[in-house]
Amino acid sequence: MIKLERGARPKELTPEVCEELKKLYMENRDRDVWNSPKIKKPLKDALLKMSHKKCVYCECMLDIEAKDVTIDHFLPK
């Protein structure tokens, strides 16, 4: 397992965007708010950079070995 050092928050993940996404999530907990087009790519890029493009659990290279890549949580729900 890879220990992550949290880097800077993606610039797109402003406090306002966080509040908006939290509000949407609280309104409907089944809604997948973190896959919003507004934040998905910058969030995924930040997490890949932190993990050196490896799965933090099994350490396989995500761009080569992984078939099903999902984003865990940058911020806890």
The answer to whether the CB of 54 falls within 8 A of the CB of 61 is yes
The helix (run of H) or strand (run of E) holding residue 26 is helix 15-27
The pLDDT tens digits for 29-48 are 888 887 888 888 898 888 88
Single-letter amino acid code for the residue at 76: P
Confidence at residue 44, expressed as pLDDT on a 0 to 100 scale? 85
Q: Which amino acid does the sequence have at 57? A: Y
Q: What is the pTM of this model?
A: 0.67
